[in-house]
Amino acid sequence: MTAKTLRTRIQACLFIAALPAIPIAFRLFYLQTIKHANLSATAGREFNRTVSETGPRGRIFDSQGNILAESIITWNCSLFKKELQDPPGALSALASALAIPKKDLQSKFRKSKSFVSVKKDLDRVQAEAVKALNLKGVLLEAGQSRYYPSGNLARNILGVVGSDKGLTGIEALYDKVLTGQVLRREVVRDNSGKIIYKNESEGEAAPMDIYLTIDKNIQFFAQEAIKKYAEKNRSDLAMVLVQDPNTGRILAMATYPEALEKIEPVEWVYEPGSTFKTVTVSAALEKNVVTTGDTFYCENGAWAFNNKVTIHDHEPEKTLTLSGVMERSSNIGAAKIGIKLGLENYYLYTKAFGFGTKTGLGFPGESAGILRPIEKYRTVDLAVGSYGHGIAATPLQVVNAYSAVANGGELLETRLVDRITDTGGTIKFKNETSVIRRVISSRTYNTIKDILVNVVDSGTGKNAGVPGYLVAGKTGTSKKIDPRTGEYITNKNVASFCGFFPADKPQYTILVILDNPKLFHYGGETAAPAFQDIVKKIITLKGIRPDKTLLERKLPPATHVTD
């Protein structure tokens, strides 16, 4: 064979060998250049994950250090079908160990392609039972679940947690504090789900613990009492708030029936009714437009205020003193006091006591209540507003206003969180007592306090009294408004009682509300007994001694208890 022939054959072989490379090159060019972005994104979806991992979610405590919420370790059980040996036997063993229906697990196994989620949130006993089976292809992945050691105690305040964040209540409001981003990592898995690469990087702060102002025992008393009296009076809704008037700290916040998706005491609005008379009379005393020696003619129970409006009392009254107006809860007397006070002062003190403004707790659903602009007020609005009609407030606003009276005249910022600490207990944030403004003087405080004590001693609040203790407070009964029409609903009302004790040195302010009670209707009949129940339990719990000057004092007999 000549050299020329050999070269020709070699060139022919090279040409034939190069032919497959041409379409391969075009294919590589297409995939790497034209389809690069799509393929990269697809690969990322299939194999790459940037995940955020957190340590155990921060704990929530009451004011005494009792755990109200914490995270516990749980396990998720799953399996890979291809790796499972003897599927019928393995499924039967798993179903037995986890106490789940065998048929359900078999059905789930058949419908899944490769990965089967068997059961989530296993406790330690169940996880150990699965481990003992020693089944190839069965996985146990550790996670965490939220646990509430005290059951339903303060659950409306604590809220609920979803798969990765707080959804309601404190769990949602302080989600970033409780969660704390601690680690971000890029994870690459092969097609069987196994991790083949991890790139770790440090993240943000670690989870922290929250200490609430709630007193676990007082919260329990409040929940038990409101449930008892709501059921007894067949109320649609009932609430109790207990506050320390000297610090603004909320000691209890109970709702029945309980709704975890919202916090009724900061969202629900109602006409405060006669409990608002305390604000009107306090303002009138502060502005020196009335004195304790003044008397008010109460029109025998019906006052034709104008051609369209007649103001009524529950019982016909003639002439009453300033204290008598409050003791008998006269709407007519309160209206006349309000008119003497004047619209500008009425509106100024209503705002000063915190009505028409959110308390600042921060919950997304918190309401500011309803207080119309002053320019939209007529004289009749002033008259009915003086006894708590024509305005709307949240329960939290009402208890705050009474605490301002109880502490001698200062409106304080409301507190529900006391402090935030790291897991070692080092304080990172502390909520101190903060005064918003002074609303009445100590002189006015002493006068209105004595009047409110008279309401409990001999007026409509008699059922709230505790022998041997000075209790101050005011009953309230208001009509319900249809939110669709804005009109009052016939035969439906809100009954309430708000007060504080011991009256000489108040330590507790308590508000009780019963929405649409059907057995009895007035605050003195429904809410006042619940108030008394809670006061007695707090006295026993805290060892509060009786007032020595009252031990032998006999309360005057009640003349009539209505509003």
β-strands 183-189, 319-321 pairing: unpaired
Q: What percent of the chain stands above pLDDT 70?
A: 83
Other CB atoms within 10 A of residue 491 CB? 9
Number of domains in the chain: 2
Query: Does the N-terminal peptide bond of residue 502 adopt cis geometry, omega within 30 degrees of 0?
Result: yes
At 73, is the pLDDT very low, low, confident or very high (cuts 50, 70, 90)? confident
- The DSSP symbol for 171 reads H
Domain boundary (180, 212, 244) is at: 212
Asked if residue 381 and residue 266 are part of one domain, the reply reads yes
User: From CA 517, how far away is CA 170, in angstroms rounded?
Assistant: 30
pLDDT digits 0-9 by tens, 416-428: 999 999 988 999 9
Asked if residue 195 and residue 315 are part of one domain, the reply reads no
- pLDDT for 172: 95
Range of the domain at 330: 216-550
Assess if residue 310 is contained within a domain.
Answer: yes
The domain that holds 158 is classified in CATH as 3.90.1310.10
Domain boundary (212, 243, 265) is at: 212
Q: Residue 156 corresponds to which amino acid?
A: N
pLDDT digits 0-9 by tens, 349-382: 999 999 999 998 999 999 999 999 999 999 999 9
pLDDT digits 0-9 by tens, 448-489: 999 999 999 999 999 999 999 999 999 999 988 777 777 788
Assess if residue 292 is contained within a domain.
Answer: yes
Q: What percent of the chain stands above pLDDT 90?
A: 69
Asked if residue 228 and residue 187 are part of one domain, the reply reads no
Asked if residue 363 and residue 286 are part of one domain, the reply reads yes
pLDDT at 17 exceeding the cut of 80: no
pLDDT at 205 exceeding the cut of 90: no
More confident residue, 233 or 519: 233
Nearest 5°: phi and psi at 126? -65, -40
Assess if residue 486 is contained within a domain.
Answer: yes
Q: What would you report as the CA-atom Rg of the chain, rounded to the nearest whole angstrom? A: 35
* Residue corresponding to tokens 């994870």: 187
Please state, in angstroms and as integers, the Cα–Cα distance from residue 267 to each residue in 364, 429, 453, 458, following that order. 9, 26, 30, 34
- pLDDT for 405: 98
- pLDDT for 559: 39
Asked if 266 contacts 359 with a C-beta cutoff of 8 angstroms, the reply is yes
- pLDDT for 12: 61
pLDDT at 43 exceeding the cut of 60: no
Query: Does the N-terminal peptide bond of residue 257 adopt cis geometry, omega within 30 degrees of 0?
Result: yes
Assess if residue 140 is contained within a domain.
Answer: yes
The domain that holds 310 is classified in CATH as 3.40.710.10
Q: Tokens representing 185?
A: 């990592």
Asked if residue 336 and residue 236 are part of one domain, the reply reads yes
Per DSSP, which regions of 167-236 are E strands?
183-189, 195-202, 209-212
Comparing CA positions, the residue from 155, 160, 81 lying closest to residue 113 is 81
Please state, in angstroms and as integers, the Cα–Cα distance from residue 173 to each residue in 26, 299, 361, 461, 560, following that order. 57, 51, 9, 37, 46
Assess if residue 74 is contained within a domain.
Answer: yes
Domain boundary (212, 234, 249) is at: 212
pLDDT at 272 exceeding the cut of 90: yes
This prediction has a pTM of 0.82
At 204, is the pLDDT very low, low, confident or very high (cuts 50, 70, 90)? low
Task: Output the average pLDDT for the chain.
Answer: 87
Other CB atoms within 10 A of residue 26 CB? 10
